[in-house]
Structures are given as structure tokens and as C-alpha cells.
Chains A and B, each alone.
Chain A
Amino acid sequence: MAQAAGVRVTDMVRLNDIPEPERSYMAELECIPYKHKPFTKAVAPNQRHVAIVSSAGLIIRGQRPMLSNDAGYRSIAADVANSDILCSHVSVNFDRTGFQQDINVMLPRDRLNELEADGSIAKAADTHYAFMGATHPDELEDKAREVGRSMLALGVNTVVLAPV
């Protein structure tokens, strides 16, 4: 397997654990090797204001589901009940029975709230976000930057990205 310059890796590879034909599909997905290396200096743990971004096409009950290659996003406020968060990324290439049992498997907002409560981070964001997985990154750039600016305006400085 080719290794991108400068990336520190060890030898654990698990793509082979995925059954065909998903394995080939996943292996052949276009991955853009971004040349630029933007690094934002991380703040200290007690200053971290953390949001989560999911690629599960999560929506709030009643919203229009996200369709394949949807370049938009949904905002999920803290006061939205777990029972009102649905998964509109309905691909058969990943499991959703875990999500059906516990939303934190995909969107660990309860775990993040606990980290705020025990002082591990300064704050769990009041809003988390969801995009549609398998959408080409270039199609998402405008909205991703829009979400980034919204987060900054709300004081967020740290983002955990959770693909499915």
C-alpha cells in the first residue's frame, strides 16, 4: 500500500475484513491527496469547545431526508431529542443497527457532554452537524467552510469528524 509522505502509520490494515463487493468499492473510492497541510494550533484541553460532524446524513425528524451526493448539511441543536434524530444515509455498505440501539455509536454527543461535565473539555458544542457520506469532497467544500465559519462564530475551536 502506498503511503503518503509524512504520514506516520503502523501496520494495521483492516480493509480486507470487509466482505466483497463492498471491499473493492471502498478500496477504489476516489481519495483526493490534498497537497496543502493546514494545521490549526490546538488549544489546551480546558479551553476546548468541541463539535461533532457526522457523515451519516443525520436529519431531524420531519426534515427532508438527504439524498445521495447531497452537498448540503443539517445542524443538530443540543435540545433535539435523540429520538428525533434519524439517519438518512441508507447505504447498505455500513451497519445501522448499532445506531438504532444507541445514537452515540455515530454521534457521541452524550459522551461529549460527559467530558464537559468532568472537566476534560471546556464545552460540548450546542450544535453538531451532519453531511452526506460518499459525496465528493470538492462538492462539500463550500458548505464545509460555511459550517466552519458558523462554528467559529459560536466559539467552537475543535471538531471531531465521525465518518460511517
Chain B
Amino acid sequence: MSGLAHFLEDEGLSTIVVALVREHVVKMSPPRALWVPFEMGRPFATPDDVELQQRVLKAALALLDEPTSEPLLQNFAEESSDLQGDLNWGFPGKLDADSVIAEAQSVLPIWHKAQTRINRTSFGISGFSPEAAIEFIHRYLSPDPMPNPKGMAPVSRARFTIDDIKVFYFEAALANGGRPSSFQLNEWFWKQTLAGKMILDFQDAARLSNDKNLRLIAGSLVPPECTYEYL
């Protein structure tokens, strides 16, 4: 993004980078940058905290008012409470199925409820339904794999399908609201769901696969701190 700032300024646009990794900005010196002390993936802080998001955006735009001809890097002073988590949160359903397919079926109505509450879903990158996504990964390395629809290489489809499965479960986990941290959600998903176990097993199998493309993505399916080595 700092590189893009240089190119866009060169074209005649004024830019501000809202930076999560301060060290990168220091090295690359974009014209104006606001460093924010938030979790990676959340440059505008806390979900649904309209006022905090507004303050971040206003602080970024305010850098345009600074009279400077040198790269400007300022710190956003406020922290977010995202990492504190929500002690009252729990998955809004009972997960006691004996197979990942059955588990996904039990999650489905909870996910639908979550969509109604959130009024959107970010599920869909794979092109599958939730049930088909589970089945695709479940059978991927079996002797009877599910056909890969046209339009995407099988390994890419597998990577996006695994992300969709995570979206499916994480969205369902918020069907009753609450504000669990990403740490809480990951702890739950990777340790307590059969879908998490399926992906962990898939990752281990992918590492040993004869398919070099599958081996290449094996390290990018599970947060490193959630892999079997750490759990």
C-alpha cells in the first residue's frame, strides 16, 4: 500500500495510508501515514463501533492538513478492546454430531439465523454452498473426490473452499451476537469442531501430497498458532 501511495501521488492524488505494520511504513516512506494499533486485518478497528471507525478515518484525513513536504507518520492514540474478548460468548448451538457432514447440517440453520442478524454474509468465494464446501474438502484427497466445477484450478478451489468453511462457522458463531475476539473464535473452531479437525487433517495430508501445488498451499490454510504442533 505504501508503494501504491507513491504511484498515486505521482499521478496527482493526495494519499494517506492507514497502516497496521508501522515498520513497513517507516521503510517505505509514503507521503502520509497513520499507524493504528489494531489487530492485523482490522485497519478500522472494531466491528460496529461507528464512532471509533469515524475517529480513525478523520484522523487519517486530518494528516492532509499538516503542512509538510517530508513523509509524515503519526500514531493513532486509541487502542481497541477487540482482543479482550467476550466472556459471555459461546457457540449458539450444540455440536455433538459424529461426522463433519452432520455437524455442518446442524450449523446450517444457525448460520441462516446469523445472516438475518448481521444482514449480510461474506460466504461464497468458493462458489459452493456450505454443505458442498464441506463435502468437497472431505472428499478431496479420497479415492472418490467431488468434481471440481469449471473456472478454477482444483488447488485454488480447495484453498477458497477452506476459507468459506471458516466463514460459515465463524458467522454462525455470532448468530446470537456477542463480541468474541478472533482468538476466542479460533480456539473454538480449531479445537471443538469437526470441520476444524477436517481442515487440520487436510493440511497434514497436503504437506505429504505428490501434488506440488497442494504442498505449496498447505502452510496457508491454518493460522500457525492453531496447527497441531501448537494445539
Whether, in the assembled complex, A157 has its beta carbon less than 8 Å from a beta carbon of chain B, the answer is: yes
Task: Please give me the residue from chain B that is nearest to A43 by CB atom.
Answer: B14
Within 8 A of B (CB), among A38-90: 38-43, 45, 48, 50, 53, 55, 59, 61, 64-65, 67, 81-83, 85-88, 90
User: What is the distance, in angstroms, from A36's C-beta to the closest C-beta of chain B?
Assistant: 7
Whether, in the assembled complex, B28 has its beta carbon less than 8 Å from a beta carbon of chain A, the answer is: yes
User: What is the distance, in angstroms, from A107's C-beta to the closest C-beta of chain B?
Assistant: 8
Whether, in the assembled complex, B131 has its beta carbon less than 8 Å from a beta carbon of chain A, the answer is: no
Chain B residues with Cβ below 8 Å from A20 are: 224
Within 8 A of B (CB), among A92-137: 92-106, 108, 111-112, 114-115, 120-121, 131, 133, 137
Within 8 A of A (CB), among B103-127: 118-122, 124-125
Q: Flag the segment in B45-53, B91-99, B135-143, B204-212 that touches A.
A: B45-53
20 A–B pairs (Cβ distance < 8 Å), ordered by A: A4-B29, A7-B29, A7-B73, A8-B74, A14-B22, A26-B21, A40-B13, A42-B64, A43-B14, A86-B122, A90-B163, A96-B166, A99-B42, A106-B42, A108-B57, A141-B7, A148-B8, A148-B10, A158-B16, A159-B5
Contact B159–A104 (Cβ < 8 Å): no
Contact B69–A158 (Cβ < 8 Å): no
Task: Report the interface size for chain B: residues with CB under 8 A from the other chain.
Answer: 87
The CA of A65 and the CA of B82, in the complex, are separated in Å by: 28
User: What is the distance, in angstroms, from B74's C-beta to the closest C-beta of chain A?
Assistant: 8
Contact B44–A95 (Cβ < 8 Å): no
User: What is the distance, in angstroms, from B203's C-beta to the closest C-beta of chain A?
Assistant: 10
User: What is the distance, in angstroms, from A120's C-beta to the closest C-beta of chain B?
Assistant: 7
Ordered nearest first, which 7 A-B pairs have the shortest CB separation?
A137-B3, A148-B11, A94-B41, A83-B120, A102-B47, A95-B41, A101-B47
**Among B9, B10, B15, B151, contact of A64 (Cβ-Cβ < 8 Å):** B151
Residue interface bits B10-36, CB-to-A below 8 A is 1, else 0: 111111111111111011111100010
Interface residues of B (CB under 8 A from A): 1-24, 26-31, 35, 37, 39-48, 50, 53-54, 56-58, 60-61, 64-65, 69-75, 82, 118-122, 124-125, 151-152, 156, 159-160, 162-163, 166-167, 170-171, 174, 182, 185, 220-225
Contact A111–B53 (Cβ < 8 Å): yes
User: What is the distance, in angstroms, from B61's C-beta to the closest C-beta of chain A?
Assistant: 7
The CA of A36 and the CA of B103, in the complex, are separated in Å by: 56
Task: Please give me the residue from chain B that is nearest to A101 by CB atom.
Answer: B47
Contact B174–A31 (Cβ < 8 Å): no
Task: Please give me the residue from chain A that is nearest to B17 by CB atom.
Answer: A161
User: What is the distance, in angstroms, from B163's C-beta to the closest C-beta of chain A?
Assistant: 4
Contact A144-B4, Cβ < 8 Å, known A42-B14, A92-B221: yes
Contact B120–A103 (Cβ < 8 Å): yes
The CA of A120 and the CA of B13, in the complex, are separated in Å by: 19
Residue interface bits A1-25, CB-to-B below 8 A is 1, else 0: 1111011111011110011111000
Contact A159–B15 (Cβ < 8 Å): yes
The CA of A153 and the CA of B231, in the complex, are separated in Å by: 52
**Among B15, B48, B151, contact of A101 (Cβ-Cβ < 8 Å):** B48
Contact A95-B182, Cβ < 8 Å, known A131-B4, A162-B1: yes
User: What is the distance, in angstroms, from A72's C-beta to the closest C-beta of chain B?
Assistant: 13
Contact A98–B224 (Cβ < 8 Å): no
Contact A36-B10, Cβ < 8 Å, known A90-B160, A96-B41, A158-B61: yes
Chain B residues with Cβ below 8 Å from A26 are: 21, 23-24
Contact A163–B60 (Cβ < 8 Å): no
Chain B residues with Cβ below 8 Å from A148 are: 7-8, 10-13
**Among A29, A50, A85, A93, contact of B61 (Cβ-Cβ < 8 Å):** A50
